[in-house]
Amino acid sequence: MEIQNWIADVNQKAEIVGNVSALAGKWKKVSIYKVPCCIRGGNEEKQRAYMPQLVSIGPYHHGEDHLKPMEEHKQQALVHFLKRSNKPLEAFVNPVAQVVEDLIDSYGDLDLSWKNDTNKFLQLMIVDGVFMLEVFCSTVRELNYPDDDPIFSHNRNRPLLSIIRRDFLMLENQLPMAVLGKLVAVQSNNSEGEEFVIKSLVSPFFFPSPTRSDLNLRECMHVLDVCRKILVFKGQDGNEGHPQSIRIPIDKAQNNETLPPAMVLKEMEIRLEASETRSLEGASFKGRMISGLLKLPRIIVDQDSETLFHNLLALERLHIKAGNEVTSYLAFMNNIIRDVEDVSVLTSYGIIIKGNNVYDQTVFEFLQSLPKDIIIDPESNLAMVSKKLSRHCYRSPWFVNQVALMLLPEFNTPIKRLTFYIACIALPLTLVQTIYAILSYKKP
């Protein structure tokens, strides 16, 4: 009997797989993923980048022992939210309930206990969504919480806020953006609530500097996706991340280019500058006879950067339509940063901006912690830049020898190289002098 049940189950699944449109629709809805072990890595330190430390958002980590204390703060946030909105809880439940099936489908590999109990799932969406909104709002305006509240008080030295911000950046700790949009739309009687959430609350929470007013984030999947779209935004004309000067066809850009590190580029008279664009793809290179100009987008490295970029890499790997811009940028930076001194060079040109209590060694270790198999997308702008820069640096045997020489530890400073060059010049001169002395002796 068991074998018959198994055969029937497989046949049923085969019928579903045969229906291409149904299968495509299933995967199309998924936007929040569990990060597999092959991406997490075996190192416990790397695992922390994907595991919330203080608060669970969504179903994946709900109920874990070390996250349970925050549930009381979530309930308190819900009460304050309803009181300030002057609306009953039912007014928020109904709009979210209308899309609860889509919300469930947003999570990949979701436990059956959540799929079978939609009421429990709906309650989780509302409580966690309200908590996120309250955290966002508390950073931009007074919410009348008690002065001693560790999360929502107006005291700017709130010790838990930085940990919560980091937890909000994890791929496994996300809510579909539709939840936040529905809640704000009801609260503000504004049908454009979702756009309001993204531009007025979410963006300033992670990026204190003003974001572009023409940044359209209506189609964002969740908060982590908001951060990604801000980082790779190219502008309405599409040229902000792709300057006109580097859109010249260059064969088929490859992703296996070997580039000299930043310290060597500087010694080779290649000037480094921070590009005007904020997009991570906003790089360009102009080569001259000997020198050159390499422009790279700025990157801010702070206490949240490791969590942010590890999870953005996971998102780009797991979500097919996410793009590869962040992966390409980090692969390019890993190519030109091979030592702490390379970090110092890029910092001196304003390409790397370090946050508080972040040192060159910290930045170097962060880049070293990234997966070793990330590569530059061969169709990307950075692949073109990498190709042009590689051709410039290795265009003649002289340049190849120069690069190889500067990469050796015995010649990693200008003084050591100058001494070597003087020795190279002095040796043939000494040889000529010796020959001349011998000839003078034989034939005065």
Give the model confidence (pLDDT) of 176-186 as tens digits: 999 999 999 89
**Residue 321 domain-assigned?**
yes
Task: Kindly state the greatest CA–CA separation across the chain.
Answer: 114
Q: Give, for 38, the enclosing helix (H) or strand (E).
A: helix 37-40
The DSSP secondary-structure symbol of 303 reads: T
Residue 226 sits at φ, ψ, to 5 deg, of -60, -50
Q: Are residues 258 and 212 in the same domain?
A: no
Q: Are residues 350 and 398 in the same domain?
A: yes
Query: According to DSSP H, which parts of 100-222 are helical?
Result: 100-105, 112-115, 118-138, 161-168, 177-188, 193-197, 203-206
Burial of 410 (0-12, 13-18, 19+ CB in 10 A): exposed
Q: Give the list of residues 6+ apart from residue 133 with CB closer than 8 angstroms, or none.
A: 81, 180, 183, 184, 197, 201
State which of 174, 196, 226 marks the end of a domain: 226
The pLDDT value recorded for residue 238 is 45
- Report, as an integer, the average pLDDT of 138-159: 76
Comparing 48-52, 384-388, 390-394, the range with the smallest average pLDDT is 390-394
**Residue 319 domain-assigned?**
yes
**Residue 235 domain-assigned?**
no
The pLDDT value recorded for residue 403 is 55
**Do 332 and 427 touch, CB atoms closer than 8 A?**
no
Q: How far apart are CA 304 and CA 355, in angstroms?
A: 10
For residue 49, pLDDT over 80 is answered with: yes
Average model confidence (pLDDT) across the chain? 81
Q: In 3-state terms, what secondary structure has residue 352?
A: strand
For the chain, first and last CA: distance in Å? 113
The pLDDT value recorded for residue 239 is 45
- Report, as an integer, the average pLDDT of 411-439: 66
**Residue 277 domain-assigned?**
yes
Comparing 35-49, 107-121, 417-431, the range with the smallest average pLDDT is 417-431
**Do 274 and 350 touch, CB atoms closer than 8 A?**
yes
Number of helical H runs and strand E runs in the chain: 22, 5
Q: How far apart are CA 279 and CA 13, in angstroms?
A: 43
For residue 225, pLDDT over 90 is answered with: yes
For residue 100, pLDDT over 80 is answered with: yes
Pairwise pLDDT comparison (145 vs 49), residue with the higher score: 49
Closest listed residue to residue 193, CA positions, set 175, 210, 179, 207: 179
Q: How far apart are CA 326 and CA 348, in angstroms?
A: 23
**Do 222 and 176 touch, CB atoms closer than 8 A?**
yes
Pairwise pLDDT comparison (264 vs 73), residue with the higher score: 73
**Residue 238 domain-assigned?**
no
Q: Give, for 301, the enclosing helix (H) or strand (E).
A: strand 299-301
Q: How far apart are CA 198 and CA 205, in angstroms?
A: 10
Grade residue 120 by pLDDT with cuts at 50, 70 and 90. very high
**292-296 and 270-274 strand pairing:** parallel
**Residue 236 domain-assigned?**
no
Q: Are residues 318 and 426 in the same domain?
A: no
State which of 169, 193, 226 marks the end of a domain: 226
Q: How far apart are CA 211 and CA 235, in angstroms?
A: 11
**Residue 183 domain-assigned?**
yes
Range of the domain at 123: 31-226
Percent of the chain, pLDDT > 90? 38
Grade residue 71 by pLDDT with cuts at 50, 70 and 90. very high
Q: Are residues 10 and 122 in the same domain?
A: no
Grade residue 279 by pLDDT with cuts at 50, 70 and 90. confident
For residue 135, pLDDT over 50 is answered with: yes
**284-287 and 292-296 strand pairing:** antiparallel
Q: Are residues 180 and 63 in the same domain?
A: yes
Comparing 126-140, 151-165, 202-216, the range with the smallest average pLDDT is 202-216
Grade residue 24 by pLDDT with cuts at 50, 70 and 90. low
Q: Are residues 16 and 71 in the same domain?
A: no
Q: What pTM does this model have?
A: 0.82
Q: Are residues 36 and 21 in the same domain?
A: no
Q: Are residues 256 and 326 in the same domain?
A: yes
Grade residue 343 by pLDDT with cuts at 50, 70 and 90. very high
Q: Are residues 424 and 379 in the same domain?
A: no
Count the domains in the chain. 4
Q: How far is CA 332 from CA 157, 198, 273, 349, in A?
A: 36, 30, 15, 17
**Residue 239 domain-assigned?**
no
For residue 211, pLDDT over 70 is answered with: no
153-157, 296-300, 428-432 — which one is most confidently predicted on average?
296-300
Q: Are residues 178 and 55 in the same domain?
A: yes
Q: How far is CA 142 from CA 101, 147, 410, in A?
A: 35, 11, 59
Q: Are residues 114 and 257 in the same domain?
A: no
Q: Are residues 268 and 207 in the same domain?
A: no
Residue 144, CB-side half-sphere exposure with 13 Å CA sphere: 5
CA-angle at 335, arms to 330 and 340, nearest 5°: 95
Q: Give the list of residues 6+ apart from residue 124 with CB closer than 8 angstroms, or none.
A: 58, 59, 62, 114
